[in-house]
Structure 1
């Protein structure tokens, strides 16, 4: 019989959040602190991290770093555990969406996006999984997207990077369950961030504020289960489309995309 999935508590150790300087990451840092965690916040923008840490200096600690730096991530996560104690809960949130991909496919954009979204996540996963498996306890949540469910026109690069994260989370969840490490994936719709604010040509139904998203995400950390998906309307539609035969899927996707275009 497999072990019951581990769910982290503030008494078990600290939380770690990448991409913490703005948007969903920043909101989750604050929400976790509200729920009693000490939080190591990581992002490239050191000034924004320091401003965030200053809001709760006894609970939020700034660790500037770049998820693209493989060796640097390993060193940084080791330093966090040396300074603050074991990481019980990690939210791997750092991500990139380049609006210029709407203009056409470009291999350089693939490399740039995957370097953050896929390789950057892997660079954090590597040391976290090793440390948590050694302790036989840990929880890691990977921020993906509902965009990873289906091939969306004009989102071949971003969407496929998120699809890769969903696959990775599914595989690792099964690989590390017996080691006491819980893997989760967050598949969300539209959240108001600098990323979504750059989209001017399409409607963004059921768009919510990052603070509301953070509450849903942190509730999901506490509740457990593999997937944290919201809003339910877009989740249900995305899963329905994913199950269709390709001829029907492409016809429905064409209709949905045309409806979503702003006049």
Structure 2
């Protein structure tokens, strides 16, 4: 079976974006057990399929071809989410040449998303920007293993990218949509994404003078669970992180452009995180 044959091209538009889960669907769901099952499923897939270098397609092994599992470019990334360990597999066809994004940055990419049964559920042939804070976790973590390409501008001011990061992500359902079925994606479905990473943008989502990745106060690699003033708005989206009525960007007492190194009352807490300074 060849993945490149679009046996059901169903473009549903940016399905990589994360969705809010319905609590009614999570009752009695064993996410840890599903993570183990997904890993077994992905391993079986990687052992029974290979990458055809001639056409770039993923085919079923039928004649002693070397499977993906034996490809030296295949790597595994361990991701812990909600105290559950997941294995995210990625095949690095080209690393890229510029910089790697963090989980809080934005990327310019093209991609094709597929189920393990080869059905293509989403594709994007022209470049588009994505914030890695607003997509499925498999993307957020997987893209950090690649780098962007070089931008080449032609005489007519059109441009393209060369030496871009290029690879394939093999994502367990727990880092995709979990047990929440989507329009063309069943519940608990591991997914495959072929992609090219063309450019990376260091993100400051709330324009407060602090890069979003640096608003990971607890240092766990997840910027979404840091909320200093407990207003339900994570710091990377909150222009007043400590809720004292003073914008974070205005708490730069020494005016060096960095609010993180100002501690007026000397208590070890930067002013922008200290409501009593």
Q: Same fold (TM over 0.5)?
A: no
Which category of TM-score, normalised to the shorter sequence, fits these structures? under 0.3
Normalised TM-score (structure 1): 0.27
Q: Which has the larger radius of gyration?
A: 2
Higher relative contact order structure (alpha carbons within 8 Å, sequence separation ≥ 6): 1
The structure whose residues are more often strand, as a share, is 2
